[in-house]
Amino acid sequence: MSLTAIYRRLPSSLQPVAKQLYMGQRWARFYARLPYARLLDRFRLNDLDDIYTEEYFLQRTRPPHDTVAETVIDELVERYDPDTVADIGCAIGHYLLKFQDRGIETTGFEGSQRAVNNALVDTVQQADLRDGITVESDHNLVTCIEVAEHLHPIYADNIVNTIVSATGENGTIVFTAAPPGQYGTHHINLKPRRYWIEKFEKRGVTYCPEDSKAIINSLNTRLSQKTWPVENIMVFRN
């Protein structure tokens, strides 16, 4: 019998306790593995294809992930009307596909070779995001959605540099990263918003709190429930 089936058979009064115990043991396992996962990523001893399975990427094409992506793309296109978009850490290109469906030119960069091999569009390039990647800075909009938390802190400046370098003059950056408390696959650098804002501002781009709040509020109205990518949105202007 699965854990879900057991949970559903519990009296309603015990279900909150069972859920709390289950989440507690998940967090305990997560933090127990964290130093080892960070060590492997720090010295590039890990194999991304062992961490991110084919199913990990394919689930991004299904609800609720796909529904969130569709809604986010609609919001960004309506608000910024970009001609060219770069997505840093684009996985199999599920966001890029939706931009292309709206007639927008796209470029994507992804660290996992498995993701590149299964890409939904032909504009995804394989690149180790821990390195500073040279990208043509002619994009109206650059996105990086829930990627930076997967990299060791020592590489945080590199991914910020890549994002900024890809952004054209007066271009817009839409960035999200998991904060402390957001459990997930290989989340090894969970930082508060201020951590990332300071790194971007050191690169000379301007944080736009009003735009950030407006997009979050709009998406929360459009979506039936709040989701991590939406709540984590930060907007910057080059």
- Predicted local distance difference test score (pLDDT) of residue 136: 81
Q: Are strands 167-176 and 84-88 parallel, antiparallel or unpaired?
A: unpaired
**Which tops the pLDDT comparison, 22 or 194?**
194
Q: What is the pLDDT of residues 87-97, one digit of tens each?
A: 999 999 999 99
Beta bridge partners of 108: 87, 124
Among positive and negative, which fits the CA dihedral 223, 228, 231, 237? negative
- pLDDT at residue 227, rounded to an integer: 87
Q: How far apart are the first and last CA of the chain?
A: 54
1 has a pLDDT exceeding 70: no
Query: What is the reported pLDDT for 14?
Result: 67
pLDDT for 31 equals: 63
Judged against a pLDDT cut of 80, whether residue 18 lies above it is answered with no
- For the entire predicted model, the pTM comes to 0.89
- Tell me how many degrees the CA angle 121-157-88 measures, rounded to the nearest 5: 10
Report the pLDDT value the prediction gives residue 11, as an integer from 0 to 100.
81
pLDDT at 28: 62
Whole-angstrom distance, CA of residue 4 vs CA of residue 14: 14
* pLDDT at site 16: 77
Confidence of residue 3 (pLDDT cuts 50, 70, 90): low
7 has a pLDDT exceeding 80? no
| Joined tokens for residue 34 | 């964290």
Residue 176 pairs with which residues in a beta bridge? 145
**46-55, 70-79, 113-122, 160-169, range with the lowest pLDDT:** 46-55
Give the lowest-confidence range in 5-14, 42-51, 101-110: 5-14
**Quick one: what percent of the chain has pLDDT higher than 70?**
91
What distance lies between CA 90 and its chain's CA centroid? Answer: 8
Tens digits of per-residue pLDDT, 66-77?
999 999 999 999
Tell which wins on pLDDT, 30 or 70: 70
- The torsion angles phi and psi of 81, rounded to 5 degrees, stand at 45, 55
- As a whole number of angstroms, the distance between CA 117 and CA 120 comes to 9
Helix (H, G, I), strand (E, B) or coil at 159: helix
For residue 2, pLDDT beyond 80: no
Mean pLDDT calculated for residue range 197-217? 98
> What Å distances lie between residue 83 and 71, 136, 177, CA to CA?
18, 14, 25
pLDDT beyond 70 at 23: no
Quick check: 196 and 175 in contact, CB under 8 A? yes
